[in-house]
């Protein structure tokens, strides 16, 4: 089944034209907030380029969805589709996934696999998910591959922020920037995330979460609205009630279950909402220079907390220290 690409018509048309002209190759950095559809776009391109039944009479980005290659791409098992993701138990993408273990450098891993001749057709597609989680050593190990990819290969790096990539990585990629959808497209994207809502509710949630569509979907699901109201009230209270704020966030994270990735995503969503809340507050205090620094501190501290979530910090300690720091920030 071909997943619908929602809200990125201009980007998809640019890719389509490049494929039609036979100029679609090299390295691309897909940048946009979480949950916006970056991986979906990369998979659609992979499926289109590797489709067994592609003809000149169909759009370059409309694979048949029925052939063996389409099924293999959908199942992440196509031999000419190379993918790397950050393991759940690691804070960064391990070097061995990129260039192989120490005793097999460049004889295994992402960089070696993309250089193998295509097994079934004439193209190779590589997708590096979680590019935000490349450490400096890992990013540097990719530079030659990014700069000189094999002919007729396409490499996608998927990231939430181009500034989190090394300048040497950015300079070797063509950057495709994706923005959050609005209106009916926003509602349709929320539906893809398992949430039914109208366009206004989707727009409000995405704006509140700073464009983070995964966080917006979480905010619109289940009892998240009740949490959101209590959370906003606690953040606005002076002094901030540290104990009740900690308890509220902890209970909300606990509702995600015991799986580490789900709990981590839920906590990241909480901090994304807090960041957006503080940014809105910054707009209201912009005319009072004495109030700008405290709000800026709370934003910076919350962004730091998001990074700590991604690095698998102890969640109980992180929630407690963040709440305490936010409380001190309101008194600065």
Closest-CA residue to 1 (of 196, 192, 213): 192
pLDDT of residue 276: 83
pLDDT of residue 331: 63
Instruction: Report strand pairing: 26-31 vs 174-177.
Output: parallel
Tokens of 103: 């005793």
Closest-CA residue to 9 (of 174, 154, 129, 185): 185
Number of other residues whose CB lies within 10 A of the CB of residue 217: 25
Per-residue tens of pLDDT for the chain, all 332 residues: 456 789 899 999 999 999 888 888 899 999 999 889 999 999 999 999 999 987 665 678 889 889 999 999 999 999 999 999 999 888 899 999 999 999 999 899 999 999 999 998 889 999 999 999 999 999 999 999 999 999 889 999 999 988 889 999 999 999 999 999 999 999 999 999 889 999 999 998 888 787 888 888 888 877 787 888 899 899 999 999 999 999 999 999 999 899 888 898 899 889 988 998 898 889 888 888 888 999 999 999 999 999 899 888 999 999 999 999 999 877 65
pLDDT of residue 78: 96
pLDDT of residue 315: 96
Sheet strand arrangement including 153-159: 81-84, 124-128, 153-159, 26-31, 174-177
Q: Please tell me whether the overall predicted TM-score, pTM, comes out greater than 0.85 for this model.
A: no
Tell me the C-alpha distance between 283 and 289, whole Å: 12
The DSSP letter of residue 132 is G
Q: What angle do CA 161, 165, 167 make, to 5 degrees?
A: 125
3-state secondary structure of 332: coil
């Amino acid at each position: 089944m071909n997943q619908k690409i929602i809200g990125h018509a201009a980007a998809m048309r640019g890719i389509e034209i490049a494929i039609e002209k036979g100029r679609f190759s090299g390295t691309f950095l897909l940048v946009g907030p979480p949950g916006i559809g970056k991986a979906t776009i990369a998979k659609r391109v992979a499926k289109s380029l590797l489709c067994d039944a592609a003809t000149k009479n169909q759009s370059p980005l409309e694979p048949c969805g029925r052939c063996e290659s389409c099924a293999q791409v959908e199942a992440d098992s196509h031999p000419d589709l190379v993918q790397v993701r950050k393991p759940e138990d690691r804070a960064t993408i391990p070097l061995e996934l990129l260039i192989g273990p120490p005793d097999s450098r460049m004889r295994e891993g992402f960089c070696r696999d993309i250089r193998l001749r295509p097994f079934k057709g004439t193209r190779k597609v590589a997708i590096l998910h979680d590019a935000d989680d490349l450490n400096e050593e890992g990013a540097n190990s990719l530079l030659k591959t990014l700069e000189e990819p094999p002919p007729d290969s396409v490499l996608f790096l998927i990231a939430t922020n181009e500034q989190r990539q090394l300048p040497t990585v950015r300079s070797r990629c063509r950057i495709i920037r994706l923005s959050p959808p609005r209106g009916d497209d926003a509602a349709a994207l929320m539906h893809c995330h398992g949430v039914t809502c109208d366009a206004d509710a989707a727009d409000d949630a995405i704006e509140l979460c700073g464009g983070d569509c995964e966080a917006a979907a979480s905010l619109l699901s289940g009892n998240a609205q009740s949490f959101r109201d209590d959370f906003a009230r606690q953040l606005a209270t002076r002094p901030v009630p540290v104990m009740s704020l900690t308890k509220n966030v902890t209970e909300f994270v606990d509702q995600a279950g015991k799986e580490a990735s789900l709990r981590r995503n839920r906590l990241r969503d909480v901090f994304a909402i807090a960041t957006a809340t503080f940014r809105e507050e910054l707009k209201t205090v912009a005319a009072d220079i004495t109030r700008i620094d405290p709000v800026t501190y709370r934003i910076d501290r919350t962004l730091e907390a998001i990074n700590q979530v991604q690095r698998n910090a102890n969640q109980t300690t992180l929630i407690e220290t963040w709440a305490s720091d936010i409380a001190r920030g309101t008194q600065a």
